A = this chain, B = another copy of it.
Amino acid sequence: MSARAGIVVTGTEVLTGRVQDRNGPWLADRLLELGVELAHITICGDRPSDIEAQLRFLAGEGVDLIITSGGLGPTADDMTVATVAKFCERDLVLDAPLEATIADILKNMMSRSKSWGGADFESVMAANRKQAMVPAGAEILGPVGTAPGVVVPGSAGSLPTVVVLPGPPRELQPMWDKAIRTEAVQLALAGRTEFVQATTRMFGLPESALAETLRDGEARIADFDRLEITTCLRRGELEIVTRYEPDAAPVYDDLLALLRERHSAQLFSVDGALVDDQVAALLAGRTVATAESCTAGMVAARLTDRAGSSDYVAGGVVSYSNQAKMDLLGVDAQLLAAHGAVSEPVAEAMAAGALARFGADTAVAITGIAGPGGGSAEKPVGTVCFSVRLADGPTLTKTLLLPGDRADVRERSTTVAMHLLRQLLSAPGDAD
């Protein structure tokens, strides 16, 4: 039996969708790693009565641990600590050493920054004194910004342990690492079952085909129900996350063997690695250049996402107009006239141009119709031609009809380009 947890995300800007919550998913991952079962994430605004209602709901559902994010600032609408104290039936008390720590941090900030205007230190300190008020008996998590977090121990059988964390992810994340080492959190999670989590990724397999394989697995593999499998399809990639207790590892191995047997062409990752990780590794020692039309820089941006990419990315051309395809990539005007900008010969010429202009040994080119306009009966919206080319070897050229709206087609094309790069670079001999 797992320990169960709930997450309360506070903040009107998150509730109303103007800021995307990054803490819920991040904490969900950490809980999974710890073998803690996440039952609920609840989101509310800055109203104390709504925060309290959510805390009561989660306690009523019997969770062992509640984690809150947000509402720790100095302003009047930051009410999380006071609300948690009330919920946990504890008084708020001033912690003098914490007050001194916050004063030091503020002095430091004010001396380095000019944006404080005329505010004097004493009035800033008064506003921030509230951040040094903590529930009696709580363990303090030292501030990463100016806002400290707290861990309020639960009482067995009646109240869960509550971990109160700040909203900014850069503050919340290091503070969480401290929180899980506290006695109160360790106690709340005691006796939990450890779980292993493994991620497998496929590209180009329909979800229905995987569903059929999993049904067969259920029939053929002993103890199959010891695997907790969730699948998720995103931009043509199918992610299969499996959770199991360590002694069910042989069952998972049987599942992997079945996936390999049925879908070896589509299975590209069994260790959780993303296609981006694999392409980065394959590009070591090489130089890549891009030539993009409909994706207009998205592939170049994705290739340079990670630190160190300047070792292998030379650059790219966004050739949005035909003129740019000719001038910057040397695509022949007659080729454009004969086949149209969205065609395999033009994609191949763009890739060749990128190789030549950047002196690269690897190039990827994309030209397509992202829509909503520009489609025809022969080449409907979503038609995208790809060409991946190695200076010293083969070329891989493909045309796909991708579903969805403009943003979908552009995103999906970017992912397809990454997979074609992976395919050509991992087995250049077989590709052409």
Contacts and interface: CB of A to CB of B under 8 A. Distances in A.
**How many copies of the chain does the oligomer comprise?**
2
A417 to B, nearest CB: 12
Nearest to A403: B170
Contacts of A234: 19
A358 interface: yes
Interface in A91-129: 115-117, 119
Given A16-B28, A327-B357, A41 B40 contact: no
A324 interface: yes
Contact residues of A: prevailing secondary structure:
mixed
A321 B312 CA distance: 9
A373 B307 contact: yes
A316 interface: yes
A50 B41 CA distance: 11
A391 interface: no
A181 interface: no
A328 B301 contact: no
Contacts of A137: none
A246 interface: no
A379 B16 CA distance: 39
Contact of A15 (B38, B304, B310, B323): B38
B41 A15 contact: yes
Contact of A116 (B61, B208, B406): B208
A318 B321 contact: no
Which of A16, A29, A305, A358 has the most B CB atoms < 10 Å from its CB?
A16
B43 A24 contact: yes
A407 to B, nearest CB: 7
A371 B309 CA distance: 11
A379 to B, nearest CB: 15
Nearest to A234: B19
Contacts of A57: 53, 57
Given A17-B26, A296-B300, A43 B44 contact: no
A297 B299 CA distance: 8
A29 B116 CA distance: 34
Contacts of A39: 44-45, 50
A45 B28 CA distance: 12
Nearest to A232: B13
B307 A371 contact: yes
Contact of A318 (B41, B50, B318, B372): B318
Contact of A16 (B20, B29, B53, B117): B29
A180 interface: no
Which of A42, A313, A372 has the most B CB atoms < 10 Å from its CB?
A42
A315 interface: yes
Which of A116, A296, A305, A407 has the most B CB atoms < 10 Å from its CB?
A296
A211 interface: yes
A295 interface: yes
Interface string A285-306: 0000010100111111101111
A68 interface: no
A161 to B, nearest CB: 20
Interface in A23-57: 24-26, 28-29, 32, 38-45, 50, 53-54, 57
A239 interface: yes
A314 B323 contact: yes
Contacts of A314: 320-321, 323-324
Nearest to A228: B12
A4 B372 CA distance: 37
Interface of A: 12-13, 15-20, 24-26, 28-29, 32, 38-45, 50, 53-54, 57, 61, 75, 115-117, 119, 170, 206, 208-209, 211-212, 230, 232, 234, 239, 241, 290, 292, 295-301, 303-310, 313-321, 323-324, 327-328, 357-359, 371-374, 404, 406-407, 410
11 contacts: A16-B32, A20-B25, A39-B44, A40-B54, A119-B208, A296-B301, A297-B318, A314-B324, A315-B317, A315-B318, A317-B328
Of all A-B residue pairs in the complex, the 5 with the closest CB atoms, nearest first, are: A297-B297, A17-B25, A297-B300, A315-B324, A296-B304
